[in-house]
Chain A
């Protein structure tokens, strides 16, 4: 099995120029993705952005109109079965044979992946917390239980790469928290590479080390979550006694326009050195600076900004 694997420094998942057109509609447009071994990779985008189609292309369910997907060093279009050998996947709402038990389903799908020991099956069921219902027919499962069973059946053959499509969909808040903890553990404790799609920013922010954002079938941005947030520093907020005058002073001395001002604060985009300099100037001129704070930008800010940018680009294209 390990002979099939390529060298570990090679990316687990590469999508290059991936496109899918359904008639005149382009669902996915020249998408490039790279997921390295050990990453927990979030694939973020609003509903209908093309996430699901992209995942289907990655798994060979849908053939791309253009582009190539490589999983663990294997081209999916050319060597689908070899490429999927060490991949565990769950696509959309997981579907099971309702006339079989949960355990039978996990075992059956594991057999399709080349087999899993009974211990692995039990372990996977235990991991997702449905071991107590493993021997009931899936027909009797709630939506949340099926979701967990989907994850269990993806994990049972102990894959190197796990691809999960909206894994927390339909779970209650408690379940959402458990599944997120579980996904974090897959990377840190089980050494698996995880690719998960989500339309929930905070989910990706909480769980993922890396992220790609997709909107209208196009890649917006891709990178480490920390880096991505670092690139998008928010403005520095000065709490001062006379915000308007402070803003005018900084503009006059440093040439930086205020982002906004209110009754107590002025917010200006600047780096760390500039922030220190601005403080010295303000204090020197007799302003009473009671607080300096850099607002940490959330992924949501980045995401909304990107989507807004995209909308503007498209509006421009239309004209």
Chain B
């Protein structure tokens, strides 16, 4: 059976699993919580940051659909998105090994590499779909509660404003970059899942790796290792709001993350195609 056919089966299975939808509900919850906070709480924190600009007059409100999509991204990229995708990506092999269904599948005339490719494709699609869902949910909820407007983006070095068209473009770029980072995390979880027969292990190991690499990246002694840690690129999505966009830096970051993705897949394939299925 082809990878494509297997992918169809994987999609069919994955969609019927509760686990698949935890991320969806989790992200929707976060979006709603932030939206309600902005709607009924005090948004003056943001306006206050705006007025820190010397002698600026403010007209209208920065809080709108695009703004919501912008603020929920950093709230989710560092923990929730990686967690939710690890839940699915880290379960691909280990979960079926734990259930014993993996051995049933592999007693069929199914090429192991094709199966792994189908599952990895599923992980990629899931990362894309979940990230896109976050964006679409934030835009929809934001549109319903606040309407649409230009995008105000608070960065570490100041405030940026983008008109609606430009704002949507920047957000798309940013969500794309976030998805690539999350995909790298998912790939790590996927790799660990080929080594374990317990679907909790990949999630735990991935989260631990994220924290560890994050900490390593903070220690000056390990400065030289920094370009090789995937967590170094966790903030890549914020650079979509740079003016002007530093495309070479983005390309470099995306390349580094994709190297992670490809490497994780190759190692997964090496492990999985040779593995004795004993569970």
Contact = CB atoms under 8 A, between A and B. Distances in A.
Given A100-B13, A111-B9, A114-B1, A59 B106 contact: yes
A92 B278 CA distance: 11
B109 A84 contact: yes
A98 B19 CA distance: 13
Interface in B1-42: 1, 5-6, 9, 12-13, 16-18
A60 to B, nearest CB: 7
Q: Which of B5, B104, B105, B110 has the most CB of A within 10 A?
A: B104
Nearest to B102: A95
A72 B153 CA distance: 66
Contact of B108 (A56, A82, A97, A113): A113
A99 interface: yes
Contacts, number: 83
Interface residues of B, number: 25
B109 A62 contact: no
B17 A91 contact: no
B45 interface: no
A231 B9 CA distance: 52
B9 A95 contact: no
A95 B104 CA distance: 7
B274 interface: yes
A136 B16 CA distance: 14
Q: From DSSP, what is the main secondary structure of chain A's interface residues?
A: loop
A113 B1 CA distance: 8
Contacts of B16: 97, 99-100
A98 B13 CA distance: 10
A80 B18 CA distance: 33
Interface in A21-54: none
A281 interface: no
A63 B274 contact: yes
A80 B274 contact: no
A180 to B, nearest CB: 22
B106 A61 contact: yes
A61 B107 contact: yes
A80 B274 CA distance: 13
Contact of A112 (B9, B12, B274, B276): B9
Contacts of A97: 13, 16, 99, 101
A188 interface: no
Q: Which of A93, A94, A163 has the most CB of B within 10 A?
A: A94
B104 A91 contact: yes
A62 B111 contact: no
Q: Which of B100, B106, B274 has the most CB of A within 10 A?
A: B106
B103 interface: yes
B271 interface: no
A84 B103 contact: no
A56 B278 CA distance: 8
A96 interface: yes
A233 B9 CA distance: 55
Contacts of A108: 9, 12-13
A89 interface: yes
Contacts of A153: 104
B277 interface: yes
A140 interface: no
Nearest to A56: B277
A62 B274 CA distance: 9
Interface in A117-157: 150, 153
Interface in B260-279: 274, 276-278
B101 A95 contact: yes
Contacts of B276: 56, 61-63
A251 to B, nearest CB: 56
B242 to A, nearest CB: 44
Nearest to B107: A89
A24 B87 CA distance: 37
A81 interface: yes
A113 B6 CA distance: 11
B191 to A, nearest CB: 21
Contact of A61 (B1, B5, B103, B109): B103
B101 A61 contact: no
A61 to B, nearest CB: 4
Interface in B220-279: 274, 276-278
20 contacts: A56-B276, A61-B277, A81-B110, A84-B108, A84-B109, A85-B109, A90-B104, A92-B103, A95-B99, A95-B100, A96-B101, A109-B104, A111-B9, A112-B1, A112-B6, A112-B105, A113-B108, A113-B109, A153-B104, A163-B107
Interface of B: 1, 5-6, 9, 12-13, 16-18, 99-101, 103-111, 274, 276-278
Which 5 A-B residue pairs are closest in the complex by CB-CB distance?
A95-B100, A112-B108, A61-B277, A89-B107, A84-B109
Given A109-B105, A112-B105, 16 more contacts: A56-B103, A61-B103, A61-B106, A61-B107, A61-B277, A80-B111, A84-B108, A85-B109, A92-B103, A93-B100, A97-B99, A99-B16, A100-B13, A112-B1, A113-B109, A153-B104
Interface of A: 56, 59-63, 80-85, 87, 89-100, 108-109, 111-114, 150, 153, 163
